[in-house]
Amino acid sequence: SSRVLKRQCFQRPATRVRGALLYPDTIPFSLIPLAVLAESAELNGDEGRAVAFRRSEALLRSLDRRVQGVAELRGLPCLGEHSRRVIQDVLDNGESSEVEETKSSSRYKAMKVLTGIFGVGVKTAKRWFTEGICSLAQLETSGHTLNPAQQAGLKYYADLNQPVTRDEADAISVTVEEAVCSVLPGAQVTLAGGFRRGKTSGHDVDFLITHPDEGKEEGLVHKVTACLESRGVLLYHQTTRNTYQESPEGAGRSRSNMDRFERCFSILKLVQEQAKDQDPVQVEADQTDSGCRPWRAVRVDLVVSPISQFAFALLGWTGSKLFEREMRRWAVHEKSMSLSSHALYDNNQKRYLTASSEEEIFAHLGLEYVSPSGRNA
Ligand code: GTP
Ligand code: MN
Ligand code: MN
């Protein structure tokens, strides 16, 4: 089965025709039946179930033929009994009753609205839902004290729930590059996340920053945010310093998915093109009306990596989350290695394997290289 997993998850060409019967290109991702069930499981805090649905959903997306009946799915990995039943339902009836019920349940709807607030996770949303809070209005009148992230999340709710386009990501890239290079000439800024995988929209814009002289990148995030702030485009930021040196993961024993890079979760102000020449006073006055102000808020992640860990950081921050998960599983189960966004440790040789490119990491793992656009699992 490891052979099959490898074939299914890593060796597929970049572009595939979707299983058309289930996934016509016109269907938004959120309406894909198995993705709804995965999301619902996530919102219930059931990680195991969520991953199972995510894997079946990714497998279906990777098929190079139309699926006409479940019999065609025989022998494929990652497709459990439950997923097959849902697919059968969709094929027979055009929709799955379980999916439709999930989508219309008040719990699912409320959890989606509440976790749609930046800074609100499943645990918090669950607690609020149990108290009868189902909408933003109810949250606002509930008297709950929100932390700074959640306050910003509520303030810019509409903007942050509107997908970021590729053009907007490019415009943000210019702003970030200008800021980074003005505080540290020679620093390199790389677009990571979904946009590096070729996605045309995303929920945020992810940047990985490094400098060819190791050490020069230390403390960079603070300088960059100070610069962005002085330019009036920093709406919110929360900075975390690098803690890797204090307690490196050792042989990848850390179970947490979080890495230890210096980073900043931020919200930036993206001034829309046609509005750039406008009187700044007018721009300020428009702030209260999110509908017609000439800028929008965009979630931006800045991650700073020392050059020696850059290839691992780039691989880790390019995603997708499911692809990363499968790759780390492959490393552990097939190669007895521990892969993180910082390093690759060989448990047999008891040493770290270095890499200066993503290609070298795939080679260490005995895998064919997969370009970013092939990592949209
Ligand atoms: P959208 O932003 O929704 O369009 O998709 P995305 O794939 O860009 O997702 P996201 O911005 O959430 O994350 C980008 C990549 O960074 C994913 O592969 C994540 O696994 C990874 N990532 C996000 N947060 C962390 C973290 O704290 N640690 C590590 N190691 N990786 C992270
Ligand atoms: Mn992203
Ligand atoms: Mn991100």
Counting from 1 in the atom list of ligand 1, the atom nearest the Cα of 193 is 8
Q: Whose CA is nearest to atom 28 of ligand 1?
A: 258
Residue 85 domain flag: yes
Residue nearest to atom 14 of ligand 1 (CA): 193
Task: Report if residue 273 sits inside a domain.
Answer: yes
Residue 151, in any domain of the structure: no
Asked if 349 and 263 sit in the same domain, the reply is no
Residue 304 lies in a domain: yes
Pocket perturbation via mutation, ligand 1, pick of 257, 260, 315 by most ligand atoms within 8 A of CB = 257
DSSP state of 207: E
260 and 350 in a single domain? The answer is no
Q: Kind and range of the H or E element at 359?
A: helix 358-364
Q: What CATH number does residue 334 fall under?
A: 3.30.210.10
Which pLDDT score is estimated for 15? 35
Q: Whose CA is nearest to atom 17 of ligand 1?
A: 319
Annotated active-site residue 206? The verdict is yes
Of 300, 301, 283, nearest to 292 (Cα)? Answer: 283
Other CB atoms within a 10 A radius of the CB of residue 29 amount to: 11
Tell me, yes or no, whether 169 and 261 share the same domain: yes
Number of domains in the chain: 4
Q: Which residues line ligand 1 (CB under 6 A)?
A: 193-194, 199, 202-204, 206, 257-259, 316-317, 319-321, 324, 341
Predicted local confidence at residue 299, as pLDDT = 98
Task: Please write down the HEC assignment for all residues of 267-303.
Answer: EEEEECHHHCCCCHHHHHHHHHCCCCCCEEEEEEEEE
Tell me, yes or no, whether 175 and 297 share the same domain: yes
Residue whose Cα lies nearest atom 27 of ligand 1: it is: 258
With the most atoms of ligand 1 within 8 angstroms of its CB, the residue from 39, 321, 373 to mutate is 321
Q: What's phi and psi for 167, nearest 5 deg?
A: -60, -40
Question: Looking at the structure, do residues 201 and 297 belong to the same domain, yes or no?
Answer: yes
Pair (38, 71) in one structural domain:
yes
Return the ligand 1 atom nearest residue 201 CA.
4
Q: Does the residue 153 lie in any domain?
A: no
Confirm whether 192 is domain-assigned.
Answer: yes
Reply yes or no on whether 92 is catalytic: no
Residue 291's contacts (CB-CB under 8 Å, 6 or more residues apart) are none
What is the CATH classification number for the domain harbouring 39? 1.10.150.110
Mutational test site, ligand 1, from 243, 317, 375, max ligand atoms within 8 Å of CB = 317
ipTM, 2 dp: 0.96
Do both 297 and 171 map to the same domain? yes
Phi, psi of 12 (to 5 degrees): -85, 140
259 labelled catalytic? no
170 and 302 both lie in a single domain: yes
Of ligand 1's listed atoms, the one at least distance from the Cα of 340 is 30
Q: Give pLDDT, residue 68.
A: 80
What's the pLDDT at 257?
A: 61
10-residue mean pLDDT profile of the chain (377 residues): values are: 42 36 49 90 96 91 77 88 92 91 97 98 97 97 96 98 97 98 98 96 97 97 98 96 74 60 97 65 52 91 98 97 95 97 97 98 97 92
Distance, CA of 308 to CA of 120 (rounded, Å)? 34
* 216/133 same-domain check: no
For 45: left if phi > 0, alpha if psi spans -120 to 50, otherwise beta; the answer is left
